[in-house]
Amino acid sequence: MYDLRIVVEEVRGFCDLPLKPGDYVEVKGGRLHLPDGKFFCIWALQALMPMIPAKQRHIVEENDWLPDTQRMVCPDPDGQVIFRFERVPCGDSPAELGGAAARGGVSAQGAPRPAGRAEPPDRLLVSEPACSGCRACELACSFAHERIYSPETARIIVLKDEAAGLDRPSVCRQCGVARCVQACSEAALTRDPATHAVLVDAGRCSGCGACVEACPFGAVRLSTATGRPLICDLCGGTPACAEQCPTGAVVYGRAGKAAAGGGRS
Amino acid sequence: MSHGPSGARPGGSAFAGGYAGRVLRVDLSRRTWRTEPLDPGAALRYIGGRGLNMDVLYREVAPGTPGLDPANRLIFGVGPLNGTLFPGAARFNVSAMSPQTGILGDSNAGGFFGPELKFAGYDQVILEGRATSPVYLLITEDGVQFRPAEHLRGLDVWATDAAVHAELRDDRAQVAVAGPAAEHGVKFAGIFANLVRAAARTGMGTVMAAKNVKAVAVRGRRPVTVADPDGFAKLLRGLTAEIKAHSEYQPRRELGTTRLVSALNALGALATRHYQTGRFEAASEVSGEALARRFRIKGKACFACPIPCSRFFRLTDGEFAGLASEGPEFEGLAGFTSRVGNTDLALGLKGVDLCNRYGMDVIGTSEVISFAMELRERGVISDAEADGLELTWGNGRTILALVEKIARREGFGDVLADGVRAAATRIGRGSEALAMHVKGLEFFQADPRGLKGYALGLAVSSRGGDHLRSEPSFEFTGDGPAGQRRFGAAEAAFRLEHKGKGRLVKHFEELCALSDGLNACKNTIVNMEVLDYEQAAEFLRAATGLAFDGAGVQRACERTVNLERLFNAREGLTRADDRLPDRFLNEPLPAGSGPSAGSVVELEPMLDEYYTTRGWDLTNGLPTPAKLTELGLEEEARQVGLKRAAD
């Protein structure tokens, strides 16, 4: 996978927005990012849109036009704004991931699969409407890892807004492309080949917090006790939180499939 | 399941686990605090929470201390299992001399405050004295911050909670608040945590406000450890499985206590129009089922509880559109519907919401309102006396206006704001006979004539008219052989019978003391009876490493009940105070009350059986010397002039 930077290379006509040479928009995973105080043209964007997911992926088909196409033009004939796609390599290391991504193929799921798996791996699924807000998952997590009851060291926490009646379990979702892994300059984060969980090598970790910043879900915290990140390791494949959850708000499985663990009792 | 090394135990306490091992003592007058070690002997004698609170209250609050005096203590306590995954161990007890009743004050609440206190590393927090200006406390593992609260004066519970959270910039802090009603000196004002989790009874919020403490915020980052993690986890798996297999599990998940509206109505024992009858014609419109069908958004639970028995609801249209809150429980729901004759569910929810925001007990509030309505119906008082409000049954405008007036002590609200006993004294004209209370505390939304064991429990309860000191729900089972086996009378299993109820109530009082000592939920321990003393001892051993045994745990619970009796005896109470309003003794439930019609409470024979079972004196209702010796309460008894067995 690649992140993209789409840059205005040249304005040959008259763009009344106006976009100017050097303006850009970035695509990181499934998100568009605009530089602070900048804007982007929605008419241009809709023309560019089909190219975005295509340019994010590594394509090996030799006769395809996509890999070699770098530029697109705004559909407004008066504007003649020319955009250039720049690819920024990203993603978990293909060597670690194995499977289709490592062989340079296109993963139909978007999420690279661990080697030897026919099915994509299970992940933790959470449901706000099902969550009673009891936080038993937090205790189950700390007990499974440290043999103590301590929300402070839990890898899963329930974010609550009591006045609005909202209870949202916050935990690592085992992203296909994990921003935390990418962000780690110490290579302290790796993926468990069996479960696809993000594992922390406490020996390598410097406690810099880059992974905390990188997580788009806010699901990574630094432990106040150790200064190291608290990231769900899926308990090696039998997550204690999902086992403990009495309402099915935390489930280990795939969306649309029967739960592999937890669930309503 | 585990992949980590054992967590090191912080703090070097005398306990191998379970207890934090520390008591926090706060001198509000001097703005100082210190920690004291928890005495392991006291832990074995009283388990925790309510029991340990009573021990401190008895020793430190002199007889006759007025509830609002700075010499009164306000004691927050939790139990040895709070903070673990023990089902429903989410509660905290708060105790003081009650400003409402002048006797023992104690109340507890669920939610998240209790466990947070434990994570901050305290088993108990004792507030002494009185702050010179309004403060709120921030309690962490490092101690206490006294923070100015002048700007929070008069803010309601929800606004105070929001303001404190905003100032602390920490949405994981837990905040217990005294609302405006407490600040105005309403005698049945509670302490509210998590917005709606109320330690509502006996005026504990009033005590807190009198101490100039607007709120207590707690944030804890310590772990709770257990002495034997594997053993404890195994016991938990067994208990959780038992709870989930229990026939009560599913109904409690779906409706919680709100199902009691229709259940008690079917039995003809739903407090209706101030206990004038046991059936409410509109019960199906204001029931827990109706609430679930019309307004429920989702289930809610206290800390680490497997039963989401609470609910979040939202009103989307009508006069109260936009009203959204967790709650209500049965007491609020029936209090603002059947008890006051109101058939409009939305209005009832609004009434409960107002009580929550002002910080008042829904039982006390609904009693004084329904009391006034009955007085008006009987011509004792006029609408003019009630500031022109039309005191007719179910009058929505009147109900909500009275809640506001009580909270602010305005006009007629001032007459009602000291509780029903004081209101009747002020009104006079024979209204005393219609004031529904025991020892100055109003009681629940069931008619005692339809549940004789509960009736006895109300009469003897150590905090006055309250069902949660005994909660003998076994009398609904109809299991005669079990009644015979457990309580020496098949009748013990039948709610309209009185035989066996003395033994029944003794048993359930002690089970409640266990529940309150652990600060765990009575739904499981008392109503489902999933934990006997032997099992409790197993949990306590695994958690704390202390030598608890089944008999010792039972004795600790019995000791708590006896010490509470001594506390009230010191205030001059005797058997003569263990009574119910005359209506329940003399007026049979009317014909419209279905299967409960014709029933009255046979209190005296139940009291005799109860005192006999307790080892208490039949004439004065106080523990006998032999019982005091058996429980090791000789020292405590000396203060009330009771003789030791040896004397």
**Taking Cα atoms as reference points, which of B452, B423, B419 lies closest to residue B580?**
B452
Contacts of A235 in chain B (CB under 8 A): 1, 3
What radius of gyration, in Å, describes the C-alpha atoms of chain A?
Answer: 22
Tokens standing for residue B461: 């309860």
Closest chain B residue to the Cα of A127, Cα to Cα: B298
Q: Which of A131, A134, A160 to mutate against chain B (most B CBs within 10 Å)?
A: A134
Contacts of B85 in chain A (CB under 8 A): 136, 139-140, 143, 149, 244
Tokens standing for residue A34: 């605009």
Report how far residue B608's alpha carbon sits from residue B602's, in angstroms, rounded to the nearest whole number: 11
B387: exposed, middle or buried (C-beta count within 10 Å: 0-12, 13-18, 19+)?
middle
**Taking Cα atoms as reference points, which of B167, B146, B122 lies closest to residue B211?**
B146
pLDDT bin (cut points 50, 70, 90) of residue A57 is: confident
Residues 6 or more apart whose Cβ sits within 8 Å of residue A210: A183, A184, A185
Inter-residue contact B239 to B303 (CB < 8 Å): no
Residue B359 half-sphere exposure toward CB, CA atoms < 13 A: 36
> Which is more confident, A120 or B349?
B349
Report how far residue B578's alpha carbon sits from residue B607's, in angstroms, rounded to the nearest whole number: 8
CA angle at B247 for the pair B245 and B252, rounded to the nearest 5°: 100
Residue B372 half-sphere exposure toward CB, CA atoms < 13 A: 33
B250 vs chain A: nearest CA distance in angstroms?
A: 10
**Taking Cα atoms as reference points, which of B280, B235, B273, B266 lies closest to residue B530?**
B235
Tokens standing for residue B53: 């609170």
B145 vs chain A: nearest CA distance in angstroms?
A: 21
Rounded to 10 deg, the angle between the B452-460 and B501-518 helix axes is: 60
Inter-residue contact B439 to B493 (CB < 8 Å): no
Q: What mean pLDDT value characterizes chain A?
A: 86
> Which is more confident, B500 or A87?
B500
Distance of CA B317 to the CA centre of its chain: 33
Sign of CA dihedral A112, A118, A120, A121: negative
Quote the pLDDT of residue B177.
Answer: 98
Report how far residue B315's alpha carbon sits from residue A159's, in angstroms, rounded to the nearest whole number: 24
Report how far residue B122's alpha carbon sits from residue B602's, in angstroms, rounded to the nearest whole number: 45
Quote the pLDDT of residue A224.
Answer: 87
Inter-residue contact B320 to B354 (CB < 8 Å): no
Q: Which of A143, A200, A226 to mutate against chain B (most B CBs within 10 Å)?
A: A143
Cβ–Cβ of A134/B305 closer than 8 Å?
Answer: yes
Which pairing describes strands B74-77 and B92-97: parallel, antiparallel, or unpaired? Answer: antiparallel
Which H helix or E strand runs over A81?
strand A81-89
A12: exposed, middle or buried (C-beta count within 10 Å: 0-12, 13-18, 19+)?
exposed
Cβ–Cβ of A146/B302 closer than 8 Å?
Answer: no
- What are B27-64's pLDDT values in tens digits? 999 999 999 999 999 999 999 999 999 999 999 999 99
Amino acid at B217: A
Residue A263 pLDDT exceeds 50:
no
Query: Omega before B588 cis (within 30°)?
Result: no
Residue tagged 């206590």 (tokens): B257
Residues 130-169 of A with CB under 8 A from B: 130-136, 139-140, 142-153, 159-165, 167
Identify the segments of chain B with pLDDT beneath 70. Answer: 1-12, 642-647
Quote the pLDDT of residue A102.
Answer: 38
Report how far residue B245's alpha carbon sits from residue B234's, in angstroms, rounded to the nearest whole number: 17
Tokens standing for residue B127: 């507030």
Residue tagged 């745990």 (tokens): B553
Residue A89 pLDDT exceeds 50:
yes
Closest chain A residue to the Cα of B303, Cα to Cα: A134
One DSSP character per residue, A104-130 reads: T---TTSSPPPTT-SSPPPEEEE-TTT
Closest chain A residue to the Cα of B157, Cα to Cα: A163
Residues 6 or more apart whose Cβ sits within 8 Å of residue A244: A136, A137, A139, A140, A262, B85
Report how far residue B54's alpha carbon sits from residue B561's, in angstroms, rounded to the nearest whole number: 9
Report how far residue A211's alpha carbon sits from residue A221's, in angstroms, rounded to the nearest whole number: 9
Q: Which of A147, A240, A265 sits opposite B229 (nearest CB)?
A: A147
Quote the pLDDT of residue A115.
Answer: 53
pLDDT bin (cut points 50, 70, 90) of residue A109 is: very low
pLDDT bin (cut points 50, 70, 90) of residue A28 is: confident
Cβ–Cβ of B7/A265 closer than 8 Å?
Answer: no
Cβ–Cβ of B194/A146 closer than 8 Å?
Answer: no
Cβ–Cβ of B221/A224 closer than 8 Å?
Answer: yes
**Taking Cα atoms as reference points, which of B270, B266, B256, B267 lies closest to residue B446?**
B270
The partner residues of B126 in beta bridges, in order of sequence, read B25, B75
Contacts of B3 in chain A (CB under 8 A): 144-145, 233, 235-236
A216 vs chain B: nearest CA distance in angstroms?
A: 20
Cβ–Cβ of B2/A246 closer than 8 Å?
Answer: no
Cβ–Cβ of B3/A152 closer than 8 Å?
Answer: no
Quote the pLDDT of residue B363.
Answer: 98
Closest chain A residue to the Cα of B305, Cα to Cα: A134
Residue B88 half-sphere exposure toward CB, CA atoms < 13 A: 25
B465-469, long-range: CB within 8 Å, 24+ apart, which pairs? B465/B436, B465/B437, B465/B438, B465/B439, B465/B441, B466/B201, B466/B438, B466/B441, B467/B443, B468/B512, B468/B522, B469/B509, B469/B512
Strand, coil or helix: A26: strand
Measured CA distances, B376 to B270, B386, B388 (Å): 22, 10, 12
CA angle at B341 for the pair B473 and B442, rounded to the nearest 5°: 50
Neighbours of B27 (CB within 10 A): 15
Contacts of A131 in chain B (CB under 8 A): 298
Neighbours of B97 (CB within 10 A): 28
A199-219 burial string, b = 16+ CB within 10 Å, else e?
Answer: bbeeeebeebebbbebbeeeb
Q: Which of A149, A153, A223 to mutate against chain B (most B CBs within 10 Å)?
A: A149
Which H helix or E strand runs over B199?
strand B197-199
Rounded to 10 deg, the angle between the B345-358 and B396-408 helix axes is: 0
Mean pLDDT of A118-142: 93
In this prediction the pTM is: 0.90
> Which is more confident, B510 or A255?
B510
Q: Which of A129, A149, A151 sits opposite B298 (nearest CB)?
A: A129
End-to-end Cα spacing for chain B: 58
Quote the pLDDT of residue A265.
Answer: 38
**Taking Cα atoms as reference points, which of A234, A161, A151 lies closest to residue A191?**
A234
A130 vs chain B: nearest CA distance in angstroms?
A: 7
Which ipTM did the prediction report? 0.95
What radius of gyration, in Å, describes the C-alpha atoms of chain B?
Answer: 23
Q: Which of B195, B229, B301 sits opposite A162 (nearest CB)?
A: B195
Closest chain B residue to the Cα of A128, Cα to Cα: B298
Quote the pLDDT of residue A163.
Answer: 97
Residue A119 pLDDT exceeds 80:
no
Quote the pLDDT of residue B358.
Answer: 98
Tokens standing for residue B337: 């519907």
Quote the pLDDT of residue A2.
Answer: 87
Cβ–Cβ of A235/B297 closer than 8 Å?
Answer: no
pLDDT bin (cut points 50, 70, 90) of residue A101 is: very low
Q: What is the DSSP letter of B211?
A: T
Residue A216 pLDDT exceeds 50:
yes
Contacts of B306 in chain A (CB under 8 A): 134, 136, 246
Report how far residue B285's alpha carbon sits from residue B276's, in angstroms, rounded to the nearest whole number: 20
Q: Which of B4, B221, B299 sits opposite A147 (nearest CB)?
A: B4
**Taking Cα atoms as reference points, which of B380, B412, B382, B367 lies closest to residue B581?**
B367
Report how far residue B635's alpha carbon sits from residue B525's, in angstroms, rounded to the nearest whole number: 31
Contacts of B78 in chain A (CB under 8 A): none
Strand, coil or helix: B461: coil
The partner residues of A191 in beta bridges, in order of sequence, read A198
Report how far residue B89's alpha carbon sits from residue B514's, in angstroms, rounded to the nearest whole number: 12
The partner residues of B215 in beta bridges, in order of sequence, read B136, B177
Report how far residue B171's alpha carbon sits from residue B169's, in angstroms, rounded to the nearest whole number: 7
Report how far residue B299's alpha carbon sits from residue B486's, in angstroms, rounded to the nearest whole number: 35
Rounded to 10 deg, the angle between the B550-570 and B501-518 helix axes is: 100
Inter-residue contact B413 to B404 (CB < 8 Å): yes
Cβ–Cβ of A151/B5 closer than 8 Å?
Answer: no
A139 vs chain B: nearest CA distance in angstroms?
A: 7
Q: Which of A145, A151, A164 sits opposite B119 (nearest CB)?
A: A151
